[in-house]
């Protein structure tokens, strides 16, 4: 069985405080595009939109919840994010963040050393 991929999850607890946690996404070897060799894939995740996102170099916000559940992938530059409890992480190209803090005190963010570019994938609403 292929090893899982690691991503960071941002969520709000029952008191509204935001937190980071490291989680793993299970993978399976799949013959996705025959005759190409098998690749490692996760189960599908329903999405509704994709955005290209640019942080100007002087952009900063102290606290805001995520507007919806989404996956944030840094493509260029770096973005520093922090929780309402003050924990900080820097996300660099290739880093993946599952943002689920749609309620509570939210998180802050800013680009590090110039502008940053990310891809934002909005997850479909759960029923």
Q: What is the mean pLDDT of the chain?
A: 96
Taking only the tens place, the pLDDT of each residue in 63-73 is 899 999 999 99
Taking only the tens place, the pLDDT of each residue in 12-43 is 999 999 999 999 999 999 999 999 999 999 99
**E strand residue ranges, 31-100:** 39-41, 47-55, 61-64, 70-83, 88-91, 96-100
What whole-number distance in Å separates Cα of residue 72 and Cα of residue 35? 32
For 25, 103, 120, the CA distances from 66, given in Å and listed in that order, are 21, 8, 11
Tell me, what's the pLDDT at 125? 86
What whole-number distance in Å separates Cα of residue 90 and Cα of residue 37? 35
How many beta carbons lie within 10 A of that of residue 118, not counting itself?
A: 22
């Amino acid at each position: 069985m292929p090893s899982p991929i690691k991503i960071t999850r941002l969520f709000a607890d029952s008191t509204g405080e935001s937190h980071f946690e490291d989680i793993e996404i299970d993978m399976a070897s799949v013959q996705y595009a025959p005759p190409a060799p098998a690749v490692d894939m996760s189960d599908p995740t329903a999405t509704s939109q994709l955005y290209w996102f640019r942080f100007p170099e002087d952009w900063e916000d102290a606290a805001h919840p995520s507007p919806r559940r989404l996956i944030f992938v840094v493509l260029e530059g770096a973005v520093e994010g922090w929780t309402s409890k003050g924990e900080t992480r820097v996300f660099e190209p290739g880093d993946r963040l599952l943002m689920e803090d749609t309620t509570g005190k939210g998180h802050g963010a800013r680009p590090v050393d110039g502008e940053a570019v990310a891809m934002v994938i909005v997850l479909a609403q759960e029923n």
